[in-house]
Chain A
């Protein structure tokens, strides 16, 4: 029973972090570049790639169980500046997700309460989340499992119920092979990877060292598989019930879908699902970014104050406040310029590169530390690792060109973020050496 609970927790944690409100936005994006058939193929392919990738991450996790994942894996395997650069890009991605998720939540809320300004909803959500985290309140494991299970079962049930009577609307026949299928897949694949991002955060949650031998390695593909099924069914449900133009015109296609099924009350269903997604994805996943900021500050890469801990609750208040401020700035920018699509696509591109770096880290560590303890070893052949190292960034680049008409905006944002990350690496390195010099001077005097 205990073992089943443990595995269930890992699977729901991984699936829940990946399943946010922005997942529906990405589904809407995918409809812009692919037909329903190739969209489903792209989701399955992206999920399959993430499953392969999860075996590499499981190997890293078995070497460094319970460590702050992305930071440790890249730090031990890659040159210092390269690893820091990728970690900062990952952190920027998390901040952007906070902005996207809160903006989309505001859009859903405004469907019911149009008089509320979007920015006020966004800021209220962020302030509440930051306050909960500052107080050191942690979501119990059981609640985390419940919210994710409720979210995914609801999506599955509502998807099947909506799609089943209208499957004839799909028109899947020989015609699906016309219209450049390869081009559709290449445009959709990188964005589809976004749908699974976050599954790897489970590697920090292991109950014991033994968990990293089988349970965590198994839980990641199971979480991805769960989400593949949920996304595909919901995508098909959208395709059967709504014309393509109605899906792609909105960032929250789930709302018109529910309204079509339930009438005006459907908006409440949309809000309920959004709240479930916020609990499982936003709080556990995005605020996990505060722990990354805390770890980087404790390591000396950020100002010491960013690593402040509350003496009464033990909460990492420095990291939470910094993340809260940065997420608010990201939200304001996203709300003001309606950049949610651009941010999601750029984020997807970034994470594809970070994921490729994980696979590269596995190969480098096998070379540099061949005898290090590994309680799990990725069964993938070496050539497949190399294919992933090439294919993931390629999919990421493909995603950048996926939104027609916004390529300039996407590329400008990507270049801007790369520059910000590089400058932060330079600043961190300088800050770290200054701190070390000051400590040395203090010790001497």
Chain B
């Protein structure tokens, strides 16, 4: 049976969780080592609410979070993440391992294979998952 674990979350909203993620991301030296030369746009899409945010990862930091996304989905620099809003909040606050979410079918990631692993490595470093 599906083991998607998206029980009640107390974090306020998707944007708040992304800002929390931005802080942790930008203040972790090991993450910087991992993402050397890795500039990407992270499109975060809440499938049930239609809420979309784009995080810009540039020069070893998340430099911007903006609502919506003007980039094409098949742009190789875009990593698109799709899940229910609750699952996304849990993922970006370290409560739901993204590797588990992907295997459970609760999260979809559209990117190159290496980008997927890199995202997972970032989660491993930030939250020690």
Question: Distance in Å from the Cβ of B103 to the closest Cβ of chain A?
Answer: 6
A68 within 8 A of B: yes
User: In the bound complex, what is the Cα–Cα distance between A136 and B118 (angstroms)?
Assistant: 11
- B99 A295 Cβ-Cβ under 8 A: yes
Q: Contacting chain B: which of A102-110, A311-319, A378-386, A426-434?
A: A311-319
Q: Let me know if B100 and A299 touch, CB within 8 A.
A: yes
Least Cβ distance of A24 to chain B in Å?
28
Q: Could you give, for residues 2-13 of chain B, a 1 whenever the CB lies within 8 Å of some chain A CB and a 0 otherwise? A: 110000000000
Q: Chain A, 367-379, contact with B by CB distance < 8 Å: what is the 0/1 string?
A: 0110001000000
**A373 to B48, alpha carbons, bound, how many Å?**
11
Closest CB in chain A relative to B127 CB, distance in Å: 13
* A138 surroundings in chain B (CB, below 8 A): 112-114
Q: Is the CB of B117 within 8 A of A2?
A: no
Minimum CB–CB distance for B69 against chain A, Å: 12
- Interface membership of A65, Cβ < 8 A: yes
User: A259 on the interface (CB 8 Å rule)?
Assistant: no
Find out whether the CB atom of A314 lies under 8 angstroms from the CB atom of B82. Answer: no
Question: Is the CB–CB distance between A210 and B73 below 8 Å?
Answer: yes
Does A445 have its Cβ within 8 Å of any Cβ on chain B? no
The answer to whether A314 touches B105 (Cβ under 8 A) is no
Measured between alpha carbons, how far is A368 from B1 in the docked complex, in Å?
Answer: 9
- Does B30 contact A311, Cβ atoms closer than 8 Å? yes
The 8 Å CB contact of B120, one of A65, A209, A298, is A298
Q: Report if B80 contacts A (CB, 8 A).
A: yes
**A206 → chain B, closest Cβ, in Å?**
6
Docked-complex contact A68 and B102, CB < 8 angstroms: yes
* B1 CB, min distance to chain A CBs, angstroms: 7
Residues of chain A with a CB closer than 8 A to B110's CB: 65-66, 206-209
By the criterion CB–CB under 8 Å, are B104 and A75 in contact?
Answer: yes
B15 interface residue (CB < 8 Å to A): no
Identify which of A65, A312, A314, A373 contacts B117 (C-beta below 8 A).
A314
Contact of A309 among B103, B113, B120 (CB under 8 A): B120
Which residues, 49 to 90 on B, are CB-close (under 8 Å) to A?
Answer: 73-74, 80, 82
Give the B interface residue count (CB, 8 A).
32
- Please indicate which of the listed interface residues A311, A312, A314 has the most CB atoms of chain B within 10 Å of its own CB: A314
Instruction: Give chain A nearest CB distance to B50 CB in angstroms.
Output: 13
Partner of A64, one of B97, B100, B105, B114: B105
Residues of B1-58 at the interface with A, using a CB-CB cut-off of 8 Å, are 1-3, 30, 33-34, 36, 47
B126 interface residue per 8 A CB criterion = no
Q: Which residues of B lie under 8 Å from residue A299 when comparing CB positions?
A: 99-100, 103
Majority SS at the chain A contact face: loop
With contacts A209-B73, A309-B121 taken as known, whether A72 is within 8 angstroms of B33 at the C-beta atoms is no
B100 close to A208 (CB less than 8 A): no
Task: Give CA–CA (A6, B109) in the complex, Å.
Answer: 17
A67 CB–B CB distance under 8 Å: yes
The yes or no answer to A244 lying at the interface (CB within 8 A) is no
Task: State whether A314 touches B121 (Cβ < 8 A).
Answer: yes
| Chain B residue nearest to A204 in the complex (CB) | B113
Q: Is the CB of A295 within 8 A of B114?
A: no
Q: Which of B2, B36, B74, B99 contacts A298 (CB 8 A)?
A: B99
Q: Which residues of A contact B102 (CB under 8 A)?
A: 66-68, 72, 295
Of the residues A63, A80, A314, contact of B34 by C-beta under 8 Å: A314
Residue of B nearest to A6 (CB): B74
Is there contact, CB below 8 Å, between A207 and B108?
no
Within 8 Å CB of B114, what residues of A? 136, 138, 313-315
Tell me whether B108 and A298 are in contact (CB under 8 A): no
When the two chains form their complex, are residues A208 and B74 in contact, meaning their CB atoms are under 8 A apart? yes
Q: Does the CB pair A316–B34 fall under 8 Å?
A: no
A425 vs B86: C-alpha distance when bound (angstroms): 32
| Contact of A76 with B104 in the complex, beta carbons under 8 Å | yes
CB <8 Å contact, B112 and A311:
no
Do residues A207 and B124 form an inter-chain contact, with CB atoms below 8 A? no
A66 touches B108 (CB 8 A): yes
What separation, in Å, do the CA atoms of A368 and B105 have in the docked complex?
15
Give CA–CA (A128, B121) in the complex, Å: 24
In the complex, A6→B47 CA distance in Å? 24
Is the beta-carbon distance between B103 and A311 smaller than 8 angstroms? no
Tell me how far the C-beta of A310 lies from the nearest C-beta in chain B, rounded to whole angstroms.
Answer: 8
Verify B97–A298 contact, CB threshold 8 A.
Answer: yes
Q: By the criterion CB–CB under 8 Å, are A67 and B99 in contact?
A: no
Our pick among B74, B100, B108, B124 for the contact of A65 (Cβ within 8 Å) is B108
Q: Which 7 A-B pairs have the closest CB atoms?
A: A208-B73, A64-B105, A314-B118, A298-B99, A309-B121, A207-B74, A76-B2
| 20 CB < 8 A contacts A-B | A64-B105, A65-B82, A66-B108, A67-B102, A72-B104, A72-B105, A75-B104, A75-B105, A207-B73, A208-B73, A209-B73, A209-B80, A291-B113, A298-B100, A309-B124, A311-B34, A312-B36, A314-B121, A315-B114, A315-B117
Extra A-B contacts (15), CB below 8 Å, given A64-B108, A66-B110, A311-B33: A65-B108, A66-B102, A67-B105, A72-B103, A72-B104, A76-B1, A76-B2, A79-B1, A80-B1, A138-B113, A138-B114, A307-B99, A309-B120, A311-B30, A311-B121
